[in-house]
Structure 1
Amino acid sequence: MTQQLSDITVGFIGYGAMAQAMAQGFVDAGVLEGSQMLACAGHYDKLVDTAAPLGVRPMHNATEVAAASDIVILAVKPNLIEQVVTPILHELANSIVVCVAWGWTFDRLESVLEDHTPHISIIPNTPIAVGQGVSVVEDKHNLTDYQAGLVRALLEPVSMLETVDTAHMSQAGTISSCAPAFTAMYIEALADAGVQYGLKRASAYRLAAKMVEGTGALQVSDGRLPAAMKDAVCSPGGATIRGVVALEQHGFRGDVISAVQAVEG
């Protein structure tokens, strides 16, 4: 844990899958102790159970969380943001507000917060739970350098930070935070094929998942073109190029693009 964060309290308003993934990542990476985090949610009894494994302190309402937190992470569903924020505007004005709700960019959130409330909008993804996340960060915010440094210190150990202009937050978020679902389907399909040919299910999952992890790491390491990575595996007349041709014939690339277009509407 950095000295910068040692005395910081982070509060989650909403403690669903994304908030829990963030909390897990913070604890496992040593960014925060569980006791440095507070959370509230719609169902207190369920919250007590989900907060217990990490030592996150359950609170009864958003007012308690906002009043006691240096950094407040708004993690409720997008359609609930305004009704959750409105009663606690004064408390939020004294905190750094990090909004992870889809579609709530700086200008939109600015319209419902009190003037001069420090806030920034990000779109994290669930691999943040294992320190391998991506956080898309809107380039427009009103944080001081010190406040922005706190947010970076919180997120950088558990995710790559990719700063994007407001107009492209949705598209970047689709690629980074929706695509884990698409990728999980790809892993499952590869594993199904392996099982068809006699591999044990657990082994097939490990092989497919680690392949995806390693391929991504290889591309990120030096920025090489994915096409070049594909070509490097495809020997003339070999097995891999036959598989590539089959994917092309069945519209693999187009299906992936269509999935992103469907999210974007």
Structure 2
Amino acid sequence: MTTDKLTIGFIGYGNMAQAMAQGLVDAGVLPGGRIVACANHYEKLAANAGKLGVRPLHSVQEVASAADMVILAVKPGQVAKICEPIRKELADEGRMVISIVGGFRMDDYADLLDEGTHLICSIPNTPIAVGKGIMVTQDQDTLTDDQRRLFNQVFEPVALIERLGADLTSVATTIAGCAPAYTAMYMEALADAGVKHGLPRQVAYRLAAMMTEGTGALHMATGTIPAAMKDAVCSPGGSTIRGVAALEKSGFRGSVIDAIDTVEGA
């Protein structure tokens, strides 16, 4: 199987599923017409699916039958109900199943899917919509080698695929999946400060957004650790180090760590 003939099916078509579909279509991985989806409210599904040419279907059975790659994109409490009527279809030798259900790992599917189902658990984040995503992926799966290559072929154009042991996927998902909200708050605060000092709002947003994207891109391109990147901007006695000192005085880094601890229940 290659992406030239692949059909992807979403069971559940909420914000994350739509972000994935958007990223895949915009990146040219496959056209919207080779994506199918079902959801609880068909009229809303049809309206959202129509934006990309995704084909709306009426049932999980239709999606399971039509798709080579089935993506489970429902809430945790819905998984058992969703899987039961399509266990046989999902276990088809030529089909692969991707779970993007928050908090679900391979072991959680032991009693929900038939033996022999080709399954991988991977949690994306919303920047996948613009080809800048992360997929935190459990390093144990039941895919064949060819299916694993296909998974990479489909998602590498739109996301960094980070494979980790089950014991680390939770905190990795918190950093990759929750931190876009924290980063957006930081960008908003920077923009507010710019507006306070006279910048037009949209200019301030653009500066904050591009600075954030560029700093991340610089690390990815060079491998320079964040501490060294910070030091490179901080001239002795300069304005940047004074700002860094003010952030440290306010507990900036401690607050970020506290946010992750809170989500992880530490």
TM band (smaller chain): over 0.9
Deviation of residue 110 (structure 1)? 2.7
Question: What pairs up with 1:74-153 in 2 under 5 angstroms?
Answer: 74-94=72-92, 95-153=95-153
| Distance across 2 between alignment mates of 1:166 and 1:42 | 30
Deviation of residue 129 (structure 1)? 0.4
Select which of 49, 54, 57 maps to 1:56: 54
- 2:20 is aligned to 22
Task: Pick which of 16-25 and 71-80 moved more.
Answer: 71-80
2:214 partner letter? G
| Distance across 2 between alignment mates of 1:216 and 1:84 | 38
Q: Does 1:33 align with 2:26?
A: no
| Distance across 2 between alignment mates of 1:53 and 1:110 | 36
Q: Per-residue CA shift, 1:92-138, capped at 9, x if unaligned?
A: 11220000011111111233101110000001111000001111111
| Distance across 1 between alignment mates of 2:109 and 2:247 | 43
Question: What pairs up with 1:146-161 in 2 under 5 angstroms?
Answer: 146-161=146-161
| Distance across 2 between alignment mates of 1:31 and 1:262 | 37
| Distance across 2 between alignment mates of 1:264 and 1:80 | 23
Q: How many residues align?
A: 263
- 2:68 is aligned to 70
Deviation of residue 84 (structure 1)? 1.1
Report the TM-score, using the length of structure 1 for normalisation. 0.97
- 2:229 is aligned to 229
Deviation of residue 222 (structure 1)? 2.0
Report the TM-score, using the length of structure 2 for normalisation. 0.97
Q: Per-residue CA shift, 1:130-169, capped at 9, x if unaligned?
A: 0011111110001111111111111000001111111101
| Distance across 1 between alignment mates of 2:77 and 2:253 | 33
2:245 partner letter? V
The DSSP-based 3-state class of the residue aligned with 2:135 is strand
- 1:203 is aligned to 203
The DSSP-based 3-state class of the residue aligned with 1:206 is helix
The DSSP-based 3-state class of the residue aligned with 1:167 is coil
Select which of 40, 43, 46 maps to 2:41: 43
| Distance across 2 between alignment mates of 1:93 and 1:205 | 47
| Distance across 1 between alignment mates of 2:99 and 2:243 | 42
- 1:242 is aligned to 242
Gaps of at least 5 residues in structure 1 are none
| Distance across 1 between alignment mates of 2:110 and 2:151 | 18
| Distance across 2 between alignment mates of 1:85 and 1:184 | 35
The DSSP-based 3-state class of the residue aligned with 2:51 is helix
Q: Does 1:220 align with 2:181?
A: no
Deviation of residue 34 (structure 1)? 0.2
| Distance across 2 between alignment mates of 1:181 and 1:39 | 27
The DSSP-based 3-state class of the residue aligned with 2:102 is coil
Q: Per-residue CA shift, 1:185-226, capped at 9, x if unaligned?
A: 100110011011111111100000000000001111121111
Q: Calculate the aligned-residue CA RMSD, in Å.
A: 0.9
